[in-house]
Structure 1
């Protein structure tokens, strides 16, 4: 089974990862500000993207803003990651999510054990990967790597 894959250099991967992290947090803060404005709320501090301690409630506008912003951010970031990393969206999406979890733990000084936070993060990650991969396939379908199964 012949599978020819060109592996990118470490420097390229790290530059792409840095670009994806910058895209992710830039989109996050823009979407967060738009959501706070739409709900006519004041952003209390810049820690909103890392807030996992807000109790989940469908009638709490602050929680709804946090939930909507994380979901929209993940979807839009997945589409923008395609422009940077082409078909490797899932790999960078998972890595950026792990970085986000680590930063959240450091900023909030504890590990997020709240189920609602993980559910929002997981559904956002799925939308990021699915949306990004669909766009990547549409844009780069001639460049995708398919294994040759003749010898299988």
Structure 2
């Protein structure tokens, strides 16, 4: 069991990886959609969000915000899975809870848009799945390195005597 300092270091590093990925994905999508102004509150902005009740009338900013969340969470899960030695699901949920709290603090409001919550939940499941998948691959790779192949013996034939 890791110490409290180690756990806090893992949480901090996972949070830095998460927001780094979020801003990278957000800036790439802002460039793709040719938006005029890059808003630094892109990870926290739940006010400019897709309303699923008004289908296919999304603004570019709403689309970029939604796509940023859906793309970032699996990427951050994979990065977290590559970094952490265990319990990616636990750290993923912690990252999401901290992100929700920071979103409420930055926007000074509580998200009442149900589509933001649904997108967050689906993205969190994707984050956990990608993170645990990378962690399982990492464990499998480490386990296969521990297997030492037996040296090949020379054939026992009457010709080699």
- TM-score computed with the length of structure 2 as normaliser: 0.80
8 Å contact from structure 1 (residues 87, 140) kept in 2:
no
Change (3 A) 1:94 1:45: same
Distance in 1 between the 2:22 and 2:49 partners? 20
Partners of 1:82 and 1:43 lie apart in 2 by: 33
Query: Superposition RMSD on alpha carbons, in Å?
Result: 1.5
1:19 aligns with 2:13: yes
Q: Quick check: 1:82 aligned with 2:76?
A: no
**Residues 49 and 66, structure 2, Cα contact 8 Å, conserved in 1:** no
**Aligned counterpart, 1:148:** none
Contact 2:82 2:131 in 1 (8 A): no
Change (3 A) 1:111 1:53: same
Query: Aligned residue for 2:154?
Result: none
Post-superposition Cα deviations, 1:46-100, rounded to whole Å, max 9, x if no partner, equal 1121111124254321111111111111010000001221331100000000000
User: What is the CA–CA distance in structure 2 between the aligned matches of 1:55 and 1:12, rounded to whole Å?
Assistant: 36
1:28 to 13, 22, 27: 22
Gaps of 5+ in 2: 144-161
How many correspondences in the alignment?
137
